[in-house]
A and B are shown apart, each in its own frame.
Chain A
Amino acid sequence: MQRVAKAGGDQALRRHSEAIAFLVMASLLVLAPMFAYPVFLMKALCFALCACAFNLLIGYVGLLSFGHALFFGWASYISAHAAKVWGLPPELAILSGAAAAAGLGAIVGALAIRRQGIYFAMITLALAQMMYFFAVQAPFTHGEDGIQAVPRGKLFGLIDLADQTNMYVTVLVIFLGCFLLIYRIINSPFGEVLKAIRENEPRAISLGYRSERYKLVAFVLSATFAGVAGATKALVFQLASLTDVDWPMSGEVILMTLVGGLGTLFGPVAGAFFVVTLENYLTTIGQWVFVVQGVIFVVCVLLFRRGIIGELAQVLRVKL
């Protein structure tokens, strides 16, 4: 009797593991500003969102995009431009950035989806680099100087985002909201079809699913969330610069997801915080930070493919 009850209790815990993890994550994030520098936390949150967006593609559709900097960076530019030059309030600036990312996602996706696997990755990389050079030339981005002194503005005309706490709460709400949306997408009929396509595309097609369409929609969604991350980041740092559209940024997003755990829900978040914290503490050792990132890549690929959350999930035998 007792054993069955215990098993039942365990089962319930397992089933709700994701909900519990979400509550833990949310509470940690709410309390964090008391212990850590808020700007650092906001940076980690923006990257975490971008990594979640990337993970949507690789973890659940099986497509490795090496060009997420395109969406992240261009959304950041559009959002900065909207806030500074067009004078839009922050919520509209972020929406414009996200919309731009969605549009770019549709175009890039349409071109890249035609190929699979490695070809897909290389095409996204090349197209992202093309847009990088575009950003260097376009007058409104101001090239090397970037869009500086971006006003944070008043959210909904009421909440002054220049106040650090207000900004943090806003960023946190955006992050948690998008995170829940991504969860909803993954655990929906649409999400199930995506997973089917990842497992065995010919079979999915034979079942009547237009796999190209599903992949494109997933790509656009991923681009949009990355765009939200970039647009928010522009307001946090009040700066949009070439670094955000450059390909090492794409590499960094991949690193975060890889370290955290490809295909897990919380992996990208853990990975983002891990990498941003690591970079913060490694600043004293100069350019070695690239070397450390490279070593982490190599180690993860060879030995640690499941990532932090993946290993944790394996040990606890839950779904994370």
Chain B
Amino acid sequence: MFELFGISSQALFGQLLIGLINGSFYALLSLGLAVIFGMLNIINFAHGAQYMLGAFAAYFLLQYAGLGYWWAILLAPIVVGITGIIIERLFLQWLYKLDHLYGLLLTFGLALIFEGTFRNFFGSSGLPYSVPPALQGGQNLGFMFLPNYRGWVVVFSLAVCLTTWFVIERTKLGSYLRAATENPALVRAFGINVPRMITLTYGFGVALAALAGVMAAPIYNVSPQMGANLIIVVFAVVVIGGMGSIMGAIVTGFGLGLIEGLTKVFFPEASNTVIFIIMAIVLLIRPAGLFGRSA
């Protein structure tokens, strides 16, 4: 046990770990947002609600189908991703020709619909979802006690983030996506079905949000409100990271989680606002974001 600036190592590492866990959620969610924004130029305000839908999907799978966490990790993103595809076909496709702000307003309305419906049926306090048996318990690491599930969250999100980045930046499919973002007409001329790619990309972004929701369920309880306040922090993360940058979203997400954790140790009152303060500073120095291309 050592002391750093009067804070014990136990407290420090504990808060850093919690910061890293929060950072995993920031990274996963901002990744989904960045992917969607990169392709569709739409800010998906419904992202927080879709995160919530993922958590509820996991809850329903357990309650009504007896399917546990591991099934939920697979099925919930698919189910919610499909609802995302339906949304894109039904609503979003009409807005591409309009001012981008309408996309923001529409997804904001969708978020209200989802959250309101669930609030009506489930109230606003949380529903319990237990940690899967395989991940219960924890390790005593000496300087702190690490619950197994929280360790898993960090590892798995990192894996998902890096895989997504790899697919988009380093594979052929990813290069088609990136090309379609820059010049859809040209890419279409090459015979690639751009509208279908856009639909699938939106579905994928939504599925990422739902995956984050499933992972959040055992920690944060399943509640209709869970996405609402998180989404604003994620917006700030995306602004800091740079709107179209995948790696930017991942790095900033984890990084900001860590900074938040540190702030909780040394200056707890500011822990909620530190991300926004950093956003303000980044905007002053580098308006395009840390990793962003100047838009």
Interface residues of A (CB under 8 A from B): 64, 66, 111, 114-115, 117-119, 121-123, 125-127, 129-130, 133-134, 136-137, 247, 251, 254, 258, 286-298, 300-302, 305
Q: Do the beta carbons of B120 and A133 come within 8 Å of each other?
A: no
CA distance A137 to B233 in the complex (A): 18
B 237-295 contacts with A by CB, 8 A: 238-239, 243, 269, 272-273, 276-277, 279-280, 283-284, 287, 295
CB neighbours (8 Å) of A295 from chain B are 109, 113
Nearest CB in chain B: distance from A201 CB, A: 14
CA distance A258 to B104 in the complex (A): 13
Nearest CB in chain A: distance from B241 CB, A: 12
CB neighbours (8 Å) of A64 from chain B are 101, 104
Give 28 CB contacts A-B under 8 Å: A64-B104, A66-B104, A115-B283, A117-B100, A121-B43, A121-B101, A122-B43, A122-B238, A123-B239, A126-B236, A126-B279, A130-B273, A254-B105, A258-B105, A288-B120, A289-B116, A290-B112, A290-B113, A291-B112, A291-B113, A291-B117, A292-B116, A294-B111, A294-B116, A301-B95, A301-B106, A301-B109, A302-B106
Output the nearest chain A residue to B42 by Cβ-Cβ distance.
Answer: A118
Q: State whether A115 and B287 are in contact (beta carbons under 8 Å apart), knowing that A123-B239, A287-B119 are contacts in the complex.
A: yes
Nearest CB in chain B: distance from A125 CB, A: 6
Nearest CB in chain B: distance from A251 CB, A: 6
Contact with A along B6-39 (1 / 0, CB 8 A): 0000000000000000000000000000000000
Chain B interface helix/strand/loop/mixed = helix
Chain A interface helix/strand/loop/mixed = helix
Output the nearest chain B residue to A251 by Cβ-Cβ distance.
Answer: B108
CA distance A293 to B112 in the complex (A): 7
Q: Do the beta carbons of A122 and B106 come within 8 Å of each other?
A: no
CB neighbours (8 Å) of B100 from chain A are 117-118
CB neighbours (8 Å) of B117 from chain A are 291
Q: Do the beta carbons of A298 and B106 come within 8 Å of each other?
A: yes
Q: Do the beta carbons of B104 and A118 come within 8 Å of each other?
A: yes
Q: State whether A297 and B112 are in contact (beta carbons under 8 Å apart), knowing that A118-B101, A121-B104, A302-B106 are contacts in the complex.
A: yes
Output the nearest chain B residue to A298 by Cβ-Cβ distance.
Answer: B109
Nearest CB in chain A: distance from B50 CB, A: 14
CB neighbours (8 Å) of A301 from chain B are 95, 102, 105-106, 109
CB neighbours (8 Å) of A127 from chain B are 276, 279-280
Nearest CB in chain A: distance from B234 CB, A: 10
CB neighbours (8 Å) of A288 from chain B are 116, 120
Interface residues of B (CB under 8 A from A): 43, 91, 94-95, 99-102, 104-106, 108-117, 119-120, 232-233, 235-236, 238-239, 243, 269, 272-273, 276-277, 279-280, 283-284, 287, 295
CA distance A294 to B46 in the complex (A): 11
CA distance A203 to B269 in the complex (A): 47
Nearest CB in chain A: distance from B100 CB, A: 5
Nearest CB in chain B: distance from A33 CB, A: 32
CB neighbours (8 Å) of A134 from chain B are 273
Nearest CB in chain B: distance from A259 CB, A: 11
CA distance A122 to B279 in the complex (A): 11
Output the nearest chain A residue to B289 by Cβ-Cβ distance.
Answer: A119
Output the nearest chain B residue to A114 by Cβ-Cβ distance.
Answer: B287
CA distance A113 to B94 in the complex (A): 28
Output the nearest chain B residue to A303 by Cβ-Cβ distance.
Answer: B94
CA distance A122 to B115 in the complex (A): 20
CA distance A297 to B91 in the complex (A): 12
CB neighbours (8 Å) of A287 from chain B are 116, 119-120
Q: Do the beta carbons of A119 and B236 come within 8 Å of each other?
A: no
Residue among B233, B236, B273, B283 making CB contact with A114, cutoff 8 Å: B283
Known: A258-B105, A294-B108, A302-B91. 9 other contacts (CB 8 A): A118-B100, A127-B280, A129-B233, A137-B269, A137-B272, A290-B113, A297-B109, A297-B112, A301-B95
Pick from A251, A254, A290 the residue with the most CB of B within 10 Å: A290
Q: Do the beta carbons of B108 and A297 come within 8 Å of each other?
A: yes
CB neighbours (8 Å) of B239 from chain A are 119, 122-123, 126
CA distance A307 to B116 in the complex (A): 23
Q: Do the beta carbons of B272 and A136 come within 8 Å of each other?
A: yes
CA distance A41 to B276 in the complex (A): 36
CA distance A289 to B101 in the complex (A): 24
CB neighbours (8 Å) of A291 from chain B are 112-113, 116-117, 120
CB neighbours (8 Å) of B114 from chain A are 294
Nearest CB in chain B: distance from A159 CB, A: 40
